[in-house]
C-alpha cells in the first residue's frame, strides 16, 4: 500500500513538473515571450547556435500551445458533461409535462371544465391555469432547444480542438526531428552547418539561372518522356539518386499537391503510406513512388534559409522506372548549371499562365 502511495505521489509530481504553465494567463504570457524570441532570432545571423536556439524556442512554444489546447479540451469536456445532464433533465421534464398538458388540454377543450366548474369564476380560473401551463411548456421547450443548440456547438468546438491538438502534436514531433537531424548532420560543427547552407543556396542559384538561360527543346504533351532520374549535382548539391520535383506559380513556390492527381505513395519521411494529390496532373514518375521529402517544413528543410525553412518541392523516387514524363502539356527547356562545385542537370516545362514545373538532378 505504501509503495502504491509513493508511486502515485511521484507521478503527481511528474505531472506537475511537465506542465509548462499553471494557468491561462501564464500560458499566454509565455507564448508571447517565445513568439517574440523566435522573431528576434530569425532576424539574426544564420549560425548553428542561432538555429538550435530557434528550434528550442519553437519546441517550447509548440509545447505551450499543446498544453493550452489540452486545457481547453478538458474545460470544454466538463461543460459538455454538465450540458448532457441538463439536457437529459430538460428532456425528461418536457416529456412528462407534455403528456400531462395534453391530457389536461383535451379535457378542457371538451368544455368539461365548464360543466365541472362550481361557477363562472372557477371556469375562468381553470382556463387561465391551462394557459399558464401551456406558456410554461413553451418556455421549457425553448430552454430545451437552446440547450440542444449549445450542446451541438460545444461538441463541434471539441472536435475542432481535437484536430488542432493533433496538428500541434505532429508539429512538435517534426520540430524535434528537425533539431535531431540538424545535430546529426552538422555534428555540432559550425563549418559543416555553413557548408550545408551554402549548398542549398547554390542549388537555388542554379535553378534561378536555368530559368533564364535554359535552352528550349520544344512542345511536349502530358505523358511524353522528358528525362531520366539521376544524381547530377553530387556531391555539392545532391545526396543521392532522386527527382526533386517543383512547381512555381508566377515565380513563387507552390505545393505540388494541388496540381498532381491523388495517389497513394510510400511516405518515407513520415512513415507508412499516404494519399496525396488533389489536381489533374499526371505524376512525373511511375509507381511505386517513394516520397522521401514533402513540400514545406521537413526534418531537413532548416537548410533552406532563403525560403524561410521550407522545402520547395517533392523529393521522389520510382521503384520501377527512371523515366520522367511530362505531367501536363507545355514547352520543355533544358539547362546545365554549376552547383557547389558540381554540374547539375535541370529540365523544366512552361505550362502557361505563369506555371512552371521543374525537375532537378536528372541524368
CATH assignment at residue 24: 1.10.287
Say yes or no: 211 and 296 in one domain.
yes
* Residue numbers of the domain that contains 331: 206-360
Q: Which pLDDT tens digits describe the chain residue by residue (363 residues)?
A: 434 443 343 334 333 335 678 888 888 999 999 999 999 998 888 899 999 999 999 999 999 999 999 988 888 777 767 666 666 665 665 565 555 555 555 544 545 544 454 555 654 555 555 556 656 666 656 666 676 677 677 778 888 889 999 999 999 999 999 999 999 999 999 999 999 999 999 999 999 999 999 999 999 999 999 999 999 999 989 989 999 999 999 999 999 999 999 999 999 999 999 999 999 999 999 999 999 999 999 999 999 988 989 999 999 999 999 999 999 999 999 999 999 889 999 999 999 999 999 999 999
What does the angle CA 347 – CA 351 – CA 356 come to, to the nearest 5 degrees? 50
User: Which of residues 156, 185, 214 is at a domain's end?
Assistant: 185
Residue 5 lies in a domain: no
Which three-class secondary structure state does DSSP give residue 13? helix
- In 3D space, the residue among 226, 238, 229 whose CA is nearest the CA of residue 200 turns out to be 238
**Are residues 130 and 42 both part of a single domain?**
yes
Nearest residue to 357 via CA among 322, 318, 313? 313
Regarding whether 58 and 141 lie in a shared domain, the answer is: yes
As given in the structure block, the three cell numbers for residue 176 are 524535434
181 and 210 both lie in a single domain: no
Is 9 inside any structural domain? no
Q: What is the CA radius of gyration of the chain?
A: 33
278-291 burial code (b ≥16 CB/10 A, e <16): eeebbbbbeeebbb
> 213 and 324 in one domain?
yes
Tell me how crowded residue 135 is: count the other CB atoms within 10 A of its CB.
10
Tell me: do 316 and 281 sit in the same domain. Answer: yes
Query: Within this chain, do residues 172 and 237 fall inside the same structural domain, yes or no?
Result: no
Q: Is residue 200 part of a domain?
A: no
Query: Could you tell me if 224 and 350 lie in one domain?
Result: yes
CA distances from 12 to 5, 16, 75, 91 (A): 10, 6, 20, 40
Q: Confirm if 240 and 231 have CB atoms less than 8 A apart.
A: yes
E strands, the chain, are 215-220, 225-228, 243-249, 252-254, 263-267, 273-276, 289-293, 314-318, 323-325, 330-339, 342-352, 355-360
User: Closest Cα to residue 314, out of 260, 214, 243, 209?
Assistant: 243
Q: Note whether 170 and 71 are same-domain residues.
A: yes
342 shares its domain with 240:
yes
Task: Report yes or no on 199 lying in a domain.
Answer: no
Structural domain contains residue 71: yes
φ, ψ of residue 281 to 5 degrees: the values are: -75, 145
Domain count, the chain: 2
Asked if the structure places residue 300 within a domain, the reply is yes
Let me know if residue 337 belongs to a domain.
yes
Amino acid at each position: 500500500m505504501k509503495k502504491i502511495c509513493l508511486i502515485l505521489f511521484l507521478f503527481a509530481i511528474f505531472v506537475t513538473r511537465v506542465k509548462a504553465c499553471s494557468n491561462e494567463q501564464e500560458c499566454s504570457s509565455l507564448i508571447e515571450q517565445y513568439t517574440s524570441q523566435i522573431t528576434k532570432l530569425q532576424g539574426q545571423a544564420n549560425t548553428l547556435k542561432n538555429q538550435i536556439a530557434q528550434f528550442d524556442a519553437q519546441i517550447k512554444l509548440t509545447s505551450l500551445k499543446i498544453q493550452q489546447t489540452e486545457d481547453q479540451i478538458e474545460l470544454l469536456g466538463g461543460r459538455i458533461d454538465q450540458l448532457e445532464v441538463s439536457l437529459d433533465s430538460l428532456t425528461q421534464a418536457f416529456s412528462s409535462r407534455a403528456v400531462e398538458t395534453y391530457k389536461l388540454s383535451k379535457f378542457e377543450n371538451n368544455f368539461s371544465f365548464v360543466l365541472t366548474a362550481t361557477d363562472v369564476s372557477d371556469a375562468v380560473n381553470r382556463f387561465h391555469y391551462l394557459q399558464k401551463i401551456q406558456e410554461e411548456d413553451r418556455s421549457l421547450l425553448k430552454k430545451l432547444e437552446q440547450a440542444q443548440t449549445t450542446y451541438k456547438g460545444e461538441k463541434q468546438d471539441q472536435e475542432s480542438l481535437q484536430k488542432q491538438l493533433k496538428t500541434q502534436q505532429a508539429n512538435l514531433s517534426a520540430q524535434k526531428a528537425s533539431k535531431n537531424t540538424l545535430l546529426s548532420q552538422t555534428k555540432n560543427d559550425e563549418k559543416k552547418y555553413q557548408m550545408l547552407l551554402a549548398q542549398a543556396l547554390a542549388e537555388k542559384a542554379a535553378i534561378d539561372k536555368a530559368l533564364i538561360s535554359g535552352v528550349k527543346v520544344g512542345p511536349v504533351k502530358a505523358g511524353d518522356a522528358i528525362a531520366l532520374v539521376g544524381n547530377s549535382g553530387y556531391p555539392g548539391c545532391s545526396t543521392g539518386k532522386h527527382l526533386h520535383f517543383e512547381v512555381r506559380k508566377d515565380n513563387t513556390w507552390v505545393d505540388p499537391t494541388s496540381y498532381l492527381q491523388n495517389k497513394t505513395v510510400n511516405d518515407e519521411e513520415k512513415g507508412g503510406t499516404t494519399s496525396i494529390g488533389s489536381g489533374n496532373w499526371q505524376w512525373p514518375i511511375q509507381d511505386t513512388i517513394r516520397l522521401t521529402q514533402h513540400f514545406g517544413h521537413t526534418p531537413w528543410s532548416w537548410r533552406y534559409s532563403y525560403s524561410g525553412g521550407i522545402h520547395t518541392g517533392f523529393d521522389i523516387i520510382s521503384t520501377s522506372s527512371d523515366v520522367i514524363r511530362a505531367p501536363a502539356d507545355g514547352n520543355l527547356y533544358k539547362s546545365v548549371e554549376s552547383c557547389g562545385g558540381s554540374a547539375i542537370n535541370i529540365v523544366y516545362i512552361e505550362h502557361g499562365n505563369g506555371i512552371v514545373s521543374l525537375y532537378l538532378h536528372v541524368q
